[in-house]
Structure 1
Amino acid sequence: MEFTRMVFVTLLCLCTHATSLPNFVVIFADDVGFGDLGCYGHPSSLTPNLDRLAAEGLRFTDFYSTSPVCSPSRASLLTGRYQTRSGVYPGVLYPGSIGGLPLNESTIAEVLKPLGYATAAVGKWHLGFGPNGMFLPTKQGFDEYLGIPYSHDMGPCHNLTCFPPDVKCFGQCDMGTVLVPLMHNEVIKEQPVNFLDLERAYSDFAASFITTSVKKKRPFFLYYPSHHTHYPQYAGEGAAGKTSRGPFGDSLLEFDNTVGNLLATLEESGVINNTLVFFTADNGPSLMRMSRGGNAGALRCGKGTTYEGGMREPAIAFWPGTIKPGVTRELTSTLDILPTIARLAGAKSPPVELDGVDMTEILINHGKSKREAMMFYPTDPSEKLGLFALRLGKYKAHFFTRGSTLSSTTPDKECSMFAVLTAHDPPLLFDLEADPSEHYPLVPSGETDIPALLERIKKVKERFEASMLFGESQIGKGSDPQLEPCCSPQCRPKPHCCQC
């Protein structure tokens, strides 16, 4: 105990000295389910680099996103606040969306900038483009950005190549909008993007950012929200056809290869022992895509739902010499990443109400979580309905349940789009340690004092909802096709002329 206390004190002392500030790499996968990685039990996934992170770092079993879809979950990770506060709801942002992550929200990058951190984002932003690119990462605390500003299926893809030598993308994606652009900072580099070279470009950009930061002796924060393994899957020559899991497996392998390249760069630059690498994912698997959609393991349903499969995610923290290998079953969330990074860097937290808590004790000492509960909002949260579910300790209460198109095709009828909104009073109650699949609601028995438990849950719910001030819906502001990014803004007719 004395030793771990000394380690913790030493770490805090180091973090107060500018030249010893820790670096941070946050890796955010897309539509990766709880059961998709080798280190989480998938029998045919090839994820050797993520498996290494899990073997040599801290693997989480009870880690949650805040939303079962993309944009809200990203807003929560970067701000440490539920998406209902920032207004990134309902659903997701589109190429022509008028709104985006409000500029008065503070991101992790903005928290670190006053300490002299170099900051970069590479990959899928999906927090708005807006008029004149006003919501891009470079407007939200990031020095540099390379990526697609929204989801890569938000544009016609039927004529694009997703796998070599010339295998066209599976499906139609979104028709009637501009071709998917690749942007560097605020300038379009390619339109349409070349999927076969995309991951190599991301990997090279991220590696260059790390090496440049080290040469300049600047601490750095790299945010890498990958497009893999969101539909349509894609992979270049280094991964295509290399797994037995098909297109999803190849896409996942290419993502894992980039993780390996980042680790190699950290090692070659001599900063791996001073860098916290944190991996997780935005939401559960898109089960509507069947074998191309991912796997939630033992958890129920997937993307679009507030069942465990939609919101419980794989997560790994890796920091050689600081984080000891192990597994934690403590209740944690993407919300907790900002306060943890702020604590480790000695940065000031934003002067707003945060929903995240500091995970330092978990990371350094494998200790207890400060998180009392986890709240579950649907894709379309409203003040009228409030929370759909709440987890307190090992228990989860569902006040409302509903399936989703994104989780259709599964045998479980409760996941389907035909499973309509259903209120539960008293709420459906599950013991997630005994029943992570949420199949067997608890009934009154001698083992658990259910009335007392429900009363505790009710009080936590009432206290939380009393503190929740819904921000103006950014997605509710609507869309304007003229805002869609186009490398030839004055060309006609849009969107077909937007190619370069």
Structure 2
Amino acid sequence: MDYIPLSFVSILFFCACSASPPNFILLFADDLGFGDLGCYGHPTSLTPNLDRLAAAGLRFTDFYCTSPVCTPSRASLLTGRYQTRSGVYPGVLYPGSIGGLPLNETTIAEVLKPQGYATAAVGKWHLGVGANGTYLPTRQGFDEYLGIPYSHDMGPCRNLTCFPPDVKCFGLCDVGTVTVPLMKNDAIIQQPVNFLDLEKAYSDFATSFIITSATKKQPFFLYYPSHHTHYPQYAGPEAAGRTLRGPFGDSLFEFDNTIGNLLETLEKTQIINNTLIFFTSDNGPELMRMSRGGNAGLLKCGKGTTYEGGMREPAIAFWPGTIQPGVTHEMASTLDILPTFASLAGAKLPTVMLDGVDMTEILTNQGKSKRETMMFYPTDPSEMYGLFALRMGKYKAHFYTRGATHSGTTPDQDCPVFAVLKAHDPPLLFDLEADPSEHYPLTLFGRPDLQEVVDKIMKEKEKFEATMVFGRSEISKGTDPNLEPCCNPQCSPKPRCCQC
């Protein structure tokens, strides 16, 4: 049958009055570049299920994360607030980090639970473990959790198997720390994790959660931050060797297979028409890994930088019968997911300053975005430097530029770490519609119209920074080796003895 998309007013009526509020599945890839998916133009990526979501849903061309590295990006996604407000900066959390996402921050799960939602997280958390599991998902609004609590390269992987039958992981990963644990809620159930079985465990957990929720007729929120396609790539028997793109392509295909399993489960339980699936990524590709590190497509640089390749992400919204197939060029961000889910569920927003806006109108009738600007902070934001860049409409102004280790090995000399910090006054100005690759800065000489644009951008910058109160840095609290997750905490010598 043909579906008639709901109007904005209908959506609000639906959320307020229906006995069946919508389910939400939030898929978050890791280090995936703007040019890595088949539906975004990659010629050899095998992503049939993501391509299906894009063909039948809404594909974004101008969607942003808030940080070019993963921990702060995840904090913003779950709270709808820039990472500077919550203190989740600079850089990322480690296995023994003392800090984490502060418990007084409100996550999407905590917004939805008062509305009767079941909540589950599966995959890469990376927002802290802390003493006695202080910062784990089950302390942040999630009923259930299965996953690795940080990045899967944050432990020695030299002798671990990443591809069948016994292909060892590429590289050494972090040495001198505990091997990577798999946790169920707040308990370690495997250490080191078995990469060959990991995705199947995630898929089984997620599908079981959907089936249980559907059987109970309970609305649910499933958050799946995948490890794919972060280095070192891995894949089990069903995906290994199946693509033309090598280890990176195989790991992406494995993630795509899980998405296919989720779609099949939604169809079997007959709730697919009442479920919004949203897919995006935490930051741009780690170009220093070359063919194992992802692709930013036509965008400049990648992970670690505030150029477009570091923070503009693929994004897809899929909801049969509600979201019309199409492509939107409206600006949107991971910040906008919390207020959008809250609006659709009829939930109350947190009583704090939010940086996100409701995307419902974009999703339901492809209308105009409420987002007029996007702010770009570096991996190490500070009050002294403030914003590195700001986008307003089609224009982006760079106040500072800098390369990053993560974006090394590229021919573009602006991308590697050797491209040191440069201040720009007046700012470098780009027209992202005409020049998304940020190759050609616009000259202000003889262009009063562009000078007016820069003046407006500077006013927006001043206005925004006046509202920014930097939270105490959680990452600067440091690390304690005793906090590294160990399934046998009394064993010796650590960290080598932490195995189960």
CA contact (8 A) 1:4 1:365 kept: no
**Within the alignment, does 1:305 sit opposite 2:305 as a pair?**
yes
Deviations 1:314-361 (A, max 9, x none): 000000000000000001000000000000000000000000000000
Q: What secondary structure, in the 3-state scheme, does the structure 2 residue paired with 1:406 have?
A: helix
Q: How many angstroms does 1:16 deviate by?
A: 1.7
C-alpha distance in 1, partners of 2:16/2:441? 49
How far does the alpha carbon of each residue in 1:405-462 deviate from its partner, in whole angstroms, 9 at most, with x for none? 0000000010011000100000000000010000100013667712111110000000
Residue of structure 2 equivalent to 1:450: 450
Q: Which residue number corresponds to residue 82 of structure 1?
A: 82
Find the counterpart in structure 1 of residue 406 from structure 2.
406
Which residue number corresponds to residue 244 of structure 2?
244
CA gap of 1:124–1:6, structure 2 versus 1, over 3 A, is: closer
Amino acid at match of 2:188: I
Match for 2:94: what amino acid? Y
**Which one is further off, 327-336 or 11-20?**
11-20
1:68 aligns with 68
Shift of 1:19: 2.5
Query: Within 2, Cα distance between the matches of 1:224 and 1:448?
Result: 48
1:126 aligns with 2:126: yes
The amino acid that maps onto 1:230 is: H
What whole-Å deviation, never above 9, does each CA across 1:103-123 have from its counterpart, x for those lacking one?
Answer: 000000000000110000000
Structure 1: which 5+ runs fail to align? none
Residues 400-479 of structure 1 mapped to structure 2, 5 A cutoff = 400-444=400-444, 449-479=449-479
Q: Is the 8 A contact 2:158 2:170 kept in 1?
A: yes
> Letter of the aligned partner of 2:39 in structure 1?
C
Residue 479 of structure 1, CA deviation: 0.1
Query: In structure 1, how many angstroms separate the alpha carbons of the residues matched to 2:236 and 2:178?
Result: 23
Cα distance in 2, alignment partners of residues 387 and 327 from structure 1? 29
Give the match for residue 288 of structure 2. 288
Match of 2:339 in 1: 339
Q: Displacement, 1:493?
A: 1.1
In structure 2, how many angstroms separate the alpha carbons of the residues matched to 1:389 and 1:204? 42
What is the RMSD computed on CA atoms of the aligned residues?
1.2
Quick one: which amino acid aligns to residue 442 of structure 1? L
What secondary structure, in the 3-state scheme, does the structure 2 residue paired with 1:396 have?
strand
The one-letter code matched in structure 1 to 2:438 is E
Superposed CA deviations along residues 450-492 of structure 1, whole A, max 9, x for unmatched, are 2111110000000000000000000000000000000011111
CA distance in 1 between counterparts of 2:208 and 2:57 reads 25
Give how far 1:7 is off. 3.1
Residue of structure 1 in register with 2:100 after alignment: 100
Which amino acid in structure 2 is aligned with residue 439 of structure 1? H
Distance 2:334 2:7 in 1: 25
Q: Given the superposition, is the C-alpha separation of residues 412 and 6 from structure 1 closer, same or farther in structure 2, using an over 3 Å criterion?
A: closer
Query: Secondary structure at 1:26's aligned position in 2?
Result: strand
Between the aligned partners of 2:446 and 2:275, the Cα distance in structure 1 is 49
Q: Quick one: distance in 1 between partners of 2:43 and 2:430? A: 28
1:350 aligns with 2:350: yes
Asked whether the equivalents of residues 176 and 495 of structure 1 are also in contact (C-alpha less than 8 Å), the reply is: yes
State the distance in 2 between where 1:388 and 1:7 align: 38
Task: Output aligned runs, 1:315-334, within 5 Å.
Answer: 315-334=315-334
Q: How does 1:230-269 map to 2 (within 5 A)?
A: 230-269=230-269
Aligned length in residues: 498
Q: Secondary structure at the match of 1:375?
A: strand
Q: How does 1:166-315 map to 2 (within 5 A)?
A: 166-315=166-315
Partner Cα separation in structure 1 for residue 18 and residue 491 of structure 2: 49
Query: 1:236/1:399 Cα in 2 relative to 1: closer, same or farther (>3 Å)?
Result: same
- Checking the alignment, whether the CA contact within 8 Å between 1:19 and 1:217 is kept in structure 2 is no
Q: Distance in 2 between the 1:133 and 1:227 partners?
A: 20
1:149 corresponds to which letter in structure 2?
A: P
The residue matched to 1:183 in structure 2 has which SS? strand
Contact map agreement 2:5 2:322 (CA 8 A) in 1: no
SS of match in other structure, 1:353: coil
Shift of 1:9: 2.5
1:138 aligned partner: 138
How far apart in 1 are the matches of 2:467 and 2:22?
33
- Write out per-residue CA displacement over residues 71-122 of structure 1, whole angstroms, 9 at most, x where no aligned residue: 0000000000000000000000000000000000000000000011000000
Partners of 2:485 and 2:466 in 1: CA distance: 40
Mapped partners of 1:453, 1:4: distance in 2: 40
- For residue 34 of structure 1, what is the aligned residue in structure 2? 34
Partner secondary structure for residue 397 of structure 1: strand
Q: In the aligned structure 2, how far is the partner of 1:472 from the partner of 1:267? A: 45
Shift of 1:372: 1.1
Shift of 1:18: 5.9
Distance 1:448 1:191 in 2: 62
Percent identity, aligned pairs only, is 78
User: What is the distance in 2 between the residues matched to 1:347 and 1:444?
Assistant: 46
Instruction: Write the letter of the residue equivalent to 1:455.
Output: D
1:351 and 1:464 map into 2 onto residues whose CA distance is 19
SS at match of 2:7: helix
The answer on whether the counterparts of 1:128 and 1:149 sit within 8 Å (CA) in structure 2 is yes
